[in-house]
Amino acid sequence: DRAAAAALRSGERETAAGYDLNAAQREALFGNPLQARRLAEKALALAGDRDTKYGAGVTLALAGNSRQAAALADDLNHRFPEDTFVESCYLPTLRGAIAVQQKDPASALKELAGATRYETGVACGLLPVFIRGVAYLQSADGNHAALEFQKIIDHPGVVLNSPIGPLARLELGRSYALSNQQAKARDAYETFLQEWGAPTQGFPFSFRQRPNYKN
């Protein structure tokens, strides 16, 4: 909030929107959709540039507002038909996130294939990799999901302080559990909890269960 306020005082509306979207994406990924939507709408009220619309679209998709996310994707496609970032990173990620929220992992994987060439770069920030991993989990394919989340763990210089960094370890544990690799699952969960700052003994029973990603 302080960073966004300082940017606004300097007349940097797009920068302020970017700070709000960073917070919005964290809320969406951590399971707080109402806060995520509020911050995304706040960002859109501040700026309408390419990056703001993409960030808001992904946030809204992750927060369950697929209709508005799809509208933002269509707008980006219409306004920037020859923009490499838009066509090869932003739109595949955005449409993949929408498909995941609609419980359509096959469509998500198809859309995300368009981001493969650029997904480990700073512009994509490995977000399409994370969403692809979730799509594989929805497909009950723990082995392929684990490969995607491991990519995130292997690229800390790209992840930086993005929330998908610690969450990749949580989802890696779920991937191993789904593929009946219980020892690896426990190690991944314990590493996640250590990085998160939580106790590693007696962690919640639900972590040890195979998550039902289809519901």
How high is the pLDDT of residue 209? Answer: 41
Q: How far apart are CA 139 and CA 199, in angstroms?
A: 31
pLDDT in tens, 163-178: 999 999 999 999 999 9
Residues 6 or more apart in contact with residue 10 via CB below 8 angstroms:
none
- Cα 80 vs. chain centroid, distance in angstroms? 22
Tell me the mean pLDDT in the region 38-42.
Answer: 97
Per-residue pLDDT tens over the stretch 56-67:
999 999 999 999
Q: What percent of the chain has pLDDT over 90?
A: 87
User: What is the rounded average pLDDT for all residues in the chain?
Assistant: 91
- Between CA 146 and CA 137 the distance in angstroms is 9
Start-end of H helices in the chain: 2-9, 13-29, 33-46, 50-62, 66-79, 84-85, 91-101, 105-112, 127-138, 142-153, 156-159, 164-178, 182-196
**pLDDT tens per residue, range 80-116:** 999 999 999 999 999 999 999 999 999 999 999 999 9
Please state the pTM of the whole predicted model. 0.89
